[in-house]
A and B are shown apart, each in its own frame.
Chain A
Amino acid sequence: MTITEDAPAAHVGSRRLRKEDPALLTGEARFIDDLALPGAIWVGVVRSTEAHANIVGIDGSAALEIDGVHEVLSGADLAPLWGEGALPCAWPVTPDMKNPTHLPVATTTAKYVGDAVAVVLADSRYAAADGAAAVVVDYEPLPAVVEIEDAVADGAPLVHADLESNECYTWGLWGDNAAAVDAAFAEAAHVVSERYLQQRLIPAPMEPRGCAAVPSPAGGELTLYSATQIPHILKVMTAVVLGIPENKLRVVAPSVGGGFGCKLNVYAEEILCSALAMQRGAPVRWTEGRTEGAVSTIQGRGQVQHIEMAADAGGKVQAVRVKLLADMGAYLQLVTPGVPLLGGFLYHGCYDIPNYMFECTSVFTNRTPTDAYRGAGRPEATYAVERAMDSLAVSVGVSPEEIRARNFIAADAFPYESSAGLVFDSGDYQAVLDKAVALAGLSERRADQARRAAEGSSKRLGIGFSSYVEMCGLAPSRVLASLDYGAGGWEAATVRISPTCKVQVVTGSTPHGQGHETCWSMIVADQLGVDPDDVEVLHSDTAVSPTGLDTYGSRSLAVGGTAVYMATEKVIDKARAIAAHQLEASEDDLEFSGGVFRVRGTPEAEVPLAGIAFAAFTAHDLPDGMEPNLEAHVTYDPPNFTFPNGTHIAVVEVDTDTGDVDLIDYVAVDDCGVQINPLVVEGQVHGGILQGAAQALYEDAVYNSDGQLVSANLGDYLVPSAAEAPRFRLDSHATPSPTNPMGVKGVGEAGTIAAAPAVINAVVDALRDLGVTDVDMPASPQTVWKAIADAQGGAS
């Protein structure tokens, strides 16, 4: 590529290596547990071993014998620390939603295995662990509700005795449409009716949770360090729960090793450490253990889905009707109740389905609370839609790609108003599918599949499709208001140019592995004509970046990145005014390119940004009335969501003798709008696909009938590694989003949303001629082998 003055090098779109990686790869990055805090009090949390039990007594005497253990505190001992405060739920989805009081440490009744029931204070993490293990809790067991459907069964025990039932809320989306939906079903030539289970998943980021609360020596001020995705939200919530004035509170997220949503929360330990630190005047810290985290950190999914589709003779779907039962767990965490709703708008998938009805009943169970986990509601929706579309294809007698083609929202229909009430921004779903089909070599695969079936081979081939659309860029604040969410969806950015023309970007978006520093630098570098390495990106500390709403829901680029882009434009506008003043020209006659302002048609009349930056700093000769310095702040509230989409094709080989599923090929064509850095996009898609495939094939938070989590370690909870990853073959088909100036959409969750149905559709496709029509997730070898045996009439 030749670089000329007129066409400066574009960083956006290039595969630039990540700025973040050297520190991460050399171990220089500092995570929460790396903080050196001399004199800190270590907290050990005693967790309920019962799913539901009255706490009759807590005996800390053995713990207090241990060297370095100083105090054992019950929930009742700690209660004065939070007074009326309780752990917050920010999303009361209906006015009558039940939200049981959620104390950081239970006082009378433990509601799930892992519920905090007492706390040990010690000199070291080791003493804290020994102490917590030595506390003896006397439980009086109560009947527990473990499975979702049992929660709503007649005579079910109550998770919360003071609420009359285990139902948390019922939320629906059908408007005036109910009659039309019924009519569509009455007239349908094809009806599919399916029930799918979304097993619970354990998020398992590389770094578990942890926090450390440090009071200032002068008193009254507190810094809370936490492995969190949301320092800004955590700050507000901690201030509210504990009554600490916000101006006395600072929250810092150090390097954070992933979250996938599980660090999008306000947790008991954060409140506990903060309250104790204020009370004791000493640092108080806690680091989660892996097995501890399996029960104490939120889990994902946990739904029973009923989906029905009504189609005409040609397979065109006329109506979709969905009823969900969603597992909240024992308590509502920050956005627990809202997760099913994020899928609730998308049960028509990427298809033009005129009649829509969605209803979700959410229930309490005696299990760890659920909350947002990568995709949050949208993987569940996509799974149900894409599995049902395959059933419909069988019923109509057409291929999976044909049933999708007959139902896609047409490329010329955008902006498209969906029957669920959203306005989709842009897309060409058929073009995306066609690209995926070509990349997958579909006809050769189908021929191979047919050959194996004809030979009666024990190595069957299956090809699974998943076409998806998701809503990203959370979110227009007014839409959030209509959904009763307790905050807005904007994002803030500040851009400053220093006297020596280096750029400082302050973002309210909080990275924990995504690569914000790299991508924000590339965006700004192109706008200003500087080198990305001359751009520093500050974040994750409320003292440095006081305004922000953090990172989740694939919102960083579409909302936070757009704020950065707009703040940079504002800085350029100011610089232009100074340039015009210096060049004695009209602003309208100036062009800005490659970091230089020029007067159009008079090439020798030019001034570089560096000169303007210095002039803005000295302020010796600025236009009348102009403030010194080049700096701008923008808070951007998006006018709409963005709607990434794509088609994924999974190819599996199933060993019918053992039930083993081998994911031998995986093709993904995604439309995430304009890509800032394809390398970062691919990383997100790779990880996302593997995480989705993990739900399909490996991961399962298994509870026994007593409510004990029996897959609480990484030997039993099967997070796949690179060795299990398929061969990823990616392509893209960008339709820029008209919603924001860069045309970006977001890609953080796409892979996870698309992959699970692609993989399970492939497994079922491989076994359909053996009579298998459905396989539950995870499709373990035993599950698959039994499904084959059942379909063959029980013979094995």
Chain B
Amino acid sequence: MIPAAFDYEVAESADHAIALLAEHGDDAKLLAGGHSLIPMMRYRLATPSVLVDVGRLDDLRYIRTGNGTVSIGALTRHSELEHSAELAGACPMLASVAALVGDPAVRHRGTLGGTLAHSDPASDLPAAVLALGGTIVAQGPGGSREIAATDFFTGYFESVLAADEMITEVRVPAGGGGWNYQKFNRRAQDWAIVGAAVAGGGSGVSLVNMGSTPIRASGVEAAVAGGASAAEAAAVAADGLEPPDDLNADAEYRSHLARVLTERALNAAGVA
């Protein structure tokens, strides 16, 4: 599979990247780790005419803790999340989820900003950021704005991000309650067939690959808040959802998995 022809620009800074996006308009795309964009280009599902490479912006690779918040630069690699001692202390869930993304090669290239911007409902980290109640910082020609993760995802591979905006930082609350992530797949390097993320002792619950976006399981959260058992709360996990049908799972089996995995995650997160 060979991508269509494209031009390539290297961004010197976030400002430079945004200027290049403005200059080239809709045909330009940011290139971070390239581990979602390049496969799409090889299948010609994406045919940007200009790639703006932000992969070398090392000043956007950081993990900082302060004021009860963990701030992570958008270009931070999954492997850096996985191995960061700071993150292991401040938000172990994110480190642990990062360790389940793809394989080591993927984790050394893929970035937190890239996976959020890509907005694949089957991805792991977006669901984790959602369950954690995180915030996404996006910079555009007119400056920066903060977007709550709950407001960020709008559809299959779609978010509220404008074409000339770039994610620069992701923030999640430090500490906070029992957590767990259940990823169900057939091969170690694959995306989740279904995943269930529980944060804050059951106050944040999200589902992977159960619809067109990462899904906040508000029914489950409400049940937990109302004192339901893990089994009772998990029973409503798939209610009202329209999960996809594919070679690995039809909608019925996905719904079943969502209930099983949610119960397991709640149990592991300490919800009895």
CA distance A571 to B54 in the complex (A): 66
> What is the CB-to-nearest-CB distance from B215 to chain A, in angstroms, rounded to a whole number?
19
B46, CB-defined interface residue at 8 Å: no
Query: Residues of A contacting B43 with CB < 8 Å?
Result: 291, 713
Assuming the contacts A721-B188, A723-B188, A780-B186, asked whether A716 and B247 have C-beta atoms less than 8 A apart, the reply is yes
Across the interface, do B187 and A658 meet the contact criterion of CB distance under 8 Å?
A: no
Which of A290, A658, A702 has the most chain B CB atoms closer than 10 A to its own CB? A658
A718, CB-defined interface residue at 8 Å: yes
> What is the CB-to-nearest-CB distance from B104 to chain A, in angstroms, rounded to a whole number?
11
A289, CB-defined interface residue at 8 Å: yes
Across the interface, do B253 and A711 meet the contact criterion of CB distance under 8 Å?
A: no
Interface string of A665-705 (1 = CB under 8 A from B): 00000000000000000000000000000000110101000
CA distance A279 to B123 in the complex (A): 51
Across the interface, do B186 and A657 meet the contact criterion of CB distance under 8 Å?
A: no
Query: Residues of B contacting A710 with CB < 8 Å?
Result: 247
Across the interface, do A782 and B187 meet the contact criterion of CB distance under 8 Å?
A: no
Which of the residues B2, B190, B248, B256 comes within 8 Å of A780, measured between beta carbons?
B248
CA distance A721 to B187 in the complex (A): 8
Which of the residues A126, A291, A658, A711 comes within 8 Å of B184, measured between beta carbons?
A658
Query: Residues of B contacting A138 with CB < 8 Å?
Result: none
A129, CB-defined interface residue at 8 Å: yes
B257, CB-defined interface residue at 8 Å: yes
- Contacting A at CB under 8 A, from B147-199, are 184, 186-190, 193
Query: Residues of A contacting B186 with CB < 8 Å?
Result: 697-698, 718, 780-781
CA distance A780 to B184 in the complex (A): 12
Assuming the contacts A129-B2, A782-B253, A796-B256, asked whether A724 and B248 have C-beta atoms less than 8 A apart, the reply is no
Across the interface, do B253 and A723 meet the contact criterion of CB distance under 8 Å?
A: no
Assuming the contacts A133-B44, A711-B247, A780-B248, asked whether A291 and B1 have C-beta atoms less than 8 A apart, the reply is yes
List chain A positions with a Cβ less than 8 A from chain B. 125-126, 129-130, 133, 289-291, 657-658, 660, 697-698, 700, 702, 710-711, 713, 715-716, 718, 720-721, 723-724, 780-782, 785-786, 796
Residue on B nearest A778 in the bound complex, by CB: B186
Instruction: A658-B260, A713-B43, A782-B249 are known; give 12 further A-B pairs, CB within 8 A.
Output: A125-B2, A133-B44, A289-B2, A657-B260, A660-B184, A698-B186, A710-B247, A718-B186, A723-B189, A780-B186, A785-B253, A785-B256
- Contacting A at CB under 8 A, from B99-120, are 103
> What is the CB-to-nearest-CB distance from B37 to chain A, in angstroms, rounded to a whole number?
15
Across the interface, do A718 and B2 meet the contact criterion of CB distance under 8 Å?
A: no
Residue on A nearest B188 in the bound complex, by CB: A723
CA distance A698 to B185 in the complex (A): 11
Which of the residues A126, A718, A796 comes within 8 Å of B187, measured between beta carbons?
A718
> What is the CB-to-nearest-CB distance from B114 to chain A, in angstroms, rounded to a whole number?
18
- Contacting A at CB under 8 A, from B223-263, are 247-250, 253, 256-257, 260
Assuming the contacts A657-B260, A710-B247, A782-B253, asked whether A720 and B187 have C-beta atoms less than 8 A apart, the reply is yes
B88, CB-defined interface residue at 8 Å: no
Query: Residues of B contacting A780 with CB < 8 Å?
Result: 186, 248
Assuming the contacts A698-B186, A721-B188, A724-B188, asked whether A782 and B1 have C-beta atoms less than 8 A apart, the reply is no
CA distance A700 to B246 in the complex (A): 13
Across the interface, do A126 and B2 meet the contact criterion of CB distance under 8 Å?
A: yes
> What is the CB-to-nearest-CB distance from B118 to chain A, in angstroms, rounded to a whole number?
15
Residue on B nearest A132 in the bound complex, by CB: B2
Assuming the contacts A658-B260, A782-B250, asked whether A698 and B187 have C-beta atoms less than 8 A apart, the reply is yes
> What is the CB-to-nearest-CB distance from B121 to chain A, in angstroms, rounded to a whole number?
15
Residue on B nearest A722 in the bound complex, by CB: B188
Which of B2, B5, B193 has the most chain A CB atoms closer than 10 A to its own CB? B2
B85, CB-defined interface residue at 8 Å: no
In the complex, the 6 A-B pairs of residues with the closest C-beta atoms, listed nearest first:
A723-B188, A129-B2, A782-B253, A657-B260, A782-B249, A289-B1
Across the interface, do B5 and A130 meet the contact criterion of CB distance under 8 Å?
A: yes
Query: Residues of A contacting B272 with CB < 8 Å?
Result: none
CA distance A713 to B44 in the complex (A): 14
CA distance A289 to B3 in the complex (A): 12
Across the interface, do B1 and A290 meet the contact criterion of CB distance under 8 Å?
A: yes
Which of A700, A716, A782 has the most chain B CB atoms closer than 10 A to its own CB? A782
Query: Residues of B contacting A290 with CB < 8 Å?
Result: 1
> What is the CB-to-nearest-CB distance from B248 to chain A, in angstroms, rounded to a whole number?
7
CA distance A716 to B257 in the complex (A): 20
Residue on B nearest A66 in the bound complex, by CB: B5
Query: Residues of B contacting A782 with CB < 8 Å?
Result: 248-250, 253
CA distance A723 to B190 in the complex (A): 11
Query: Residues of B contacting A723 with CB < 8 Å?
Result: 103, 187-189
CA distance A207 to B62 in the complex (A): 39
Query: Residues of B contacting A125 with CB < 8 Å?
Result: 2
CA distance A786 to B184 in the complex (A): 17
Which of the residues B189, B248, B253 comes within 8 Å of A786, measured between beta carbons?
B253
Query: Residues of A contacting B184 with CB < 8 Å?
Result: 658, 660, 781
Query: Residues of B contacting A720 with CB < 8 Å?
Result: 187
Residue on A nearest B254 in the bound complex, by CB: A782
Query: Residues of A contacting B250 with CB < 8 Å?
Result: 782
CA distance A785 to B259 in the complex (A): 14
Which of the residues B187, B193, B260 comes within 8 Å of A724, measured between beta carbons?
B187
Query: Residues of B contacting A130 with CB < 8 Å?
Result: 2, 4-5
Interface string of B23-62 (1 = CB under 8 A from A): 0000000000000000000011000000000000000000
Query: Residues of B contacting A786 with CB < 8 Å?
Result: 253
Query: Residues of A contacting B260 with CB < 8 Å?
Result: 657-658
CA distance A125 to B5 in the complex (A): 12
CA distance A721 to B105 in the complex (A): 14
Which of B184, B190, B193, B253 has the most chain A CB atoms closer than 10 A to its own CB? B253
> What is the CB-to-nearest-CB distance from A285 to chain B, in angstroms, rounded to a whole number?
15
CA distance A723 to B44 in the complex (A): 30
CA distance A101 to B248 in the complex (A): 38
CA distance A796 to B103 in the complex (A): 33
Residue on A nearest B4 in the bound complex, by CB: A130
Residue on B nearest A128 in the bound complex, by CB: B2
20 A-B contacts, Cβ less than 8 Å apart? A126-B2, A126-B5, A129-B2, A130-B4, A289-B2, A290-B1, A291-B1, A291-B43, A657-B260, A658-B257, A658-B260, A660-B184, A700-B247, A715-B190, A718-B186, A721-B188, A780-B248, A781-B184, A781-B193, A781-B248
Query: Residues of B contacting A716 with CB < 8 Å?
Result: 247
Residue on B nearest A702 in the bound complex, by CB: B247
Residue on B nearest A124 in the bound complex, by CB: B2
Residue on B nearest A720 in the bound complex, by CB: B187
Which of A130, A697, A711, A781 has the most chain B CB atoms closer than 10 A to its own CB? A781
CA distance A718 to B186 in the complex (A): 8
Query: Residues of B contacting A711 with CB < 8 Å?
Result: 247
CA distance A657 to B43 in the complex (A): 36
CA distance A125 to B3 in the complex (A): 11
CA distance A757 to B247 in the complex (A): 23
Query: Residues of B contacting A698 with CB < 8 Å?
Result: 186-187
Query: Residues of B contacting A721 with CB < 8 Å?
Result: 103, 187-189
Residue on A nearest B2 in the bound complex, by CB: A129
